[in-house]
Structure 1
Amino acid sequence: MNAPRVPKIFSYSRRRARWRRAIGRQRRGDAADFLYRSLAEDIDDRLDFMNVRPGSVLIRGDPTGLSRAMFERLGATVTEITPLDGQEEAAIDGRFDVIASLADIDTVNDVPGALIHSRNAMAPGGIAMIAFVGAGSLANLRRALLAAEPDRPAARMHPMIDIQAGSALMQRAGFARQVADSYPLKASYRQFDRLVDDLRSQALTNVLAVQPPPLSRQALQRARESFLEGADAEGRVTETFEIVVLTGWKD
């Protein structure tokens, strides 16, 4: 029997281009990095709570280098896989104490396969920590993009995984036990364009296989105006990133 065909939701060439752009911005030293800073701090706190000091770590994602620096402060030997390596759906060599996937797995076509490869690359007793921007995030941005094209809106944001689906995926991948939780990360903006710029700097923009056409000048203005409809008395719009963290162990 043939294996079921994996739908091609995401473009890996667009993932690579997104990564190159984010790396270039991060190297300038003034790009937004708040999402990855939060992820690195959260994983550090979780490892401290569990009294885990990993010897070998695999990181997937994070163009900022903040998570690598955090693990190296803990004395770990760090291996990184980025979209430029082209290993989104390939088996991973190694036996790692910790695998940290940061805002990466949610734009892989074969998520169950990627999780299985991660589990197979873990040492016995190892921990996988899979974090990504989950369903329910960026409500103001979604509203603004719909308002930009009220008659025939194009798909400009990819589908997001919710916490229940994430937990089910971890079970399907065969982790010995798993925990799924989430926390909100908030950022406020005076301009629609600044939010989009921060997403670009952190490799968080659309990489759907079917690339939508650019917004027209009029549509972009409608998006800007709709975004600011959610502003507070100080003219700032608070956007929420719902961070889902899936933790799984290997016997």
Structure 2
Amino acid sequence: MLRNSIKVLTAHKLRSKELSWIRKYATTPQASSQPSAMNIFDRRAKTIQKDRAAINPDVEVFDYIKEEVGFRLADRVLDLKKDIKNAANIGCGRGFVSKHILAESIENLLICDTSEKMLEQAEGTPGLKLKKVNMDEENLDLEENSLDLVISSLSLHWVNDLPGCFQKIMKSLKPDGVFIASLFGGETLFELRSSLQLAELERKGGLSAHISPFTQIRDIGALLNRAGFTMLTIDTDEIVVGYPSIFELMGDLKGMAENNAAFNRPLNINKDILMAAGAIYKELYAKDDGISATYQIIYLVGWKPSPNQPKPLARGSGEVSLKDLGTIIEQGGKNDKK
């Protein structure tokens, strides 16, 4: 999606200011001998939001993003060239991944979520041995070296201690086990974020954290390496959705349980600010007769080390220098012409 460079610069500055504000005022856990994780998200509030979304009679109307990403993640499981006997889907929601997992791919699948109401609605495909457990991603209780695969779709962006979560996943995997996940990236809803911030700057002269911060793609690789994962694959995708106005967008976010859950979130938005944000959004990010919203999805794959995995060649064992690559390509082209 094309957008003016000045608008992009403004949005990035606003995101940086908001994240600094959150880090300054977020609460932290009690001191311990281990490095503490910053407590940005209210996990209890997020569970309540998910429960409320689950009992909505129209809950399926708001599943379009999570359904699509869950399908794409399940499709990546089919690409694995290994036998998977035991797997776990953490933060399963309403079964957005399990409903696409085939019994031929996975023999036993454990699905868990903080919301019991969402967990009740999660289902699997015919023949898949499914076990449901009410479990928090921040307090994973999985047996060590017991799983061939761990999956997570669009839930880890609400975890406070993401490095700790990755380490627990690593421990639960068998050697050569694989971790496949998706989560919202830092560019998600940048249009809504910047519109609300510009409106508040105009009306109040300050900023509030209306949208929770998201993980940046540049940090994911470092976190996975820190947890001990190898052979990493990380890529991103963007899903752009059109809405009639800012009000339908915010209504859908609440319906999919993706409304703000930061500890320092404001309890409400002033009507004047909301109207101003709607006008700004329409002016900056109009699409057809409405507006557009961007969801950046980060996909990641990491493997637990195993003696059987491919190893990189020793340093200095290469037979061709990269500086000669241009010459080699040129010679190859001449040979093809002959």
Q: What TM-score does the superposition give when structure 2 sets the normalisation length? A: 0.68
When the two structures are aligned, how many residues end up with a matched partner? 249
Q: What's 1:19 paired with?
A: 50
- Structure 1 residue 74 displacement after superposition: 4.5
SS in structure 2 of the partner of residue 209 of structure 1: coil
Identity of aligned pairs, percent?
A: 22
- Distance, in Å, in 2 between the alignment partners of 1:30 and 1:174 is 38
**Unaligned ranges ≥5, structure 2:** 1-31, 116-133, 307-338
CA drift of 1:78 comes to 2.1
1:88 aligned onto 2:161: no
- What is aligned with 1:125? 176
- Look up the match of 1:4: 35
Is 1:198 the equivalent of 2:228?
no
Task: Summarize the alignment of residues 34-113 of structure 1 with structure 2, pairs less than 5 Å apart.
Answer: 34-52=64-82, 54-72=84-102, 74=104, 76=106, 77-84=108-115, 85=134, 87-94=136-143, 95-113=146-164
1:173 equivalent to 2:204? Answer: no
| Selected match of 2:272 from 211, 218, 230 | 218
Give the number of the structure with larger relative contact order, counting CA–CA contacts within 8 Å between residues 6 or more apart. Answer: 1
Q: Distance in 1 between matches of 2:104 and 2:43?
A: 32
RMSD over equivalenced CA pairs, Å: 2.0
Q: Which residue of 2 aligns with 1:243?
A: 297
Residues 153 and 183 in structure 2, CA contact (< 8 A), matched pair in contact too: yes
Matches of 2:261 and 2:59, distance apart in 1: 24
* Pairing of 1:175-190 with structure 2 (within 5 A): 175-190=229-244
Q: Following TM superposition, by how much is the alpha carbon of 1:141 offset from its aligned partner in structure 2, in angstroms? A: 0.7
CA distance in 2, matches of 1:68, 1:32: 18
- Letter of the 1:231 partner, please give it: A
User: Residue 217 of structure 2: which of 147, 156, 163 is its match?
Assistant: 163
Q: Counterparts of 2:60 and 2:142 in 1: how far apart (Å)?
A: 35
Moved more, 203-212 or 28-37: 28-37
Using the TM superposition, give the Cα deviation of residue 187 of structure 1 relative to its aligned residue in structure 2, in angstroms: 0.7
8 Å contact 2:91–2:137 — kept in the other structure? no
1:25-36 alignment, distance < 5 Å: 25=56, 28-36=58-66
**Displacement of 1:148:** 3.0
Residues 191-230 of structure 1: CA deviation (Å, up to 9, x unaligned): 1111112212222221101231301111111122122122
How far did residue 22 of structure 1 move?
2.4
Work out whether residues 7 and 109 of structure 1, in 8 Å CA contact, stay in contact via their aligned partners in 2.
Answer: yes
What's the CA shift for 1:86?
Answer: 5.3
- 8 Å CA contact retained: 2:155, 2:183: yes
Indicate conservation of the 8 Å contact 2:73/2:182, yes or no.
no
Residue by residue, what CA displacement relative to the aligned partner does 1:4-50 show, whole Å, maximum 9, x if unpaired?
Answer: 2222111111111121122223x645421122122222123322333
How far apart are the structure 2 equivalents of 1:62 and 1:80?
6
Deviates more, 1:192-201 or 1:46-55: 46-55
**In 1, Cα distance between equivalents of 2:94 and 2:139:** 24
**TM superposition score normalised by structure 1:** 0.90
Deviation at 1:106, TM superposition (A): 1.5
